[in-house]
Amino acid sequence: MTAVVSVKLDRPELEGATCNRLGYRPVRACVADAVREHLTAWLRANPTQAKAVLARISPTPRH
């Protein structure tokens, strides 16, 4: 699953050797909360697709 989230900041703080990670913690937390809220709502509204998504990310038990 891939998501693109666009956040506009006056003075972004980027981390990492290639400056590809947002370092401003309050914004990271806000984005994480928004993604969690909307993804949860989508999963609940689309149970068939949610089951398929979760099956792909959850390891299957081996007997």
Can you read off the two tokens belonging to residue 12? 């972004």
Q: Which amino acid, one-letter code, is at 19? A: C
The closest of 41, 59, 22 to 49, measured between CA atoms, is 41
**CB–CB of 35/43 below 8 Å?**
no
pLDDT (tens digit, 9 = 90+) per residue, 5-60? 888 877 777 777 777 666 677 888 888 999 999 999 999 999 999 999 888 886 76
The residues near 18 (Cβ < 8 Å, ≥ 6 apart) are none
Amino acid at position 12, single letter: P
User: What tokens were used for 17?
Assistant: 């050797």
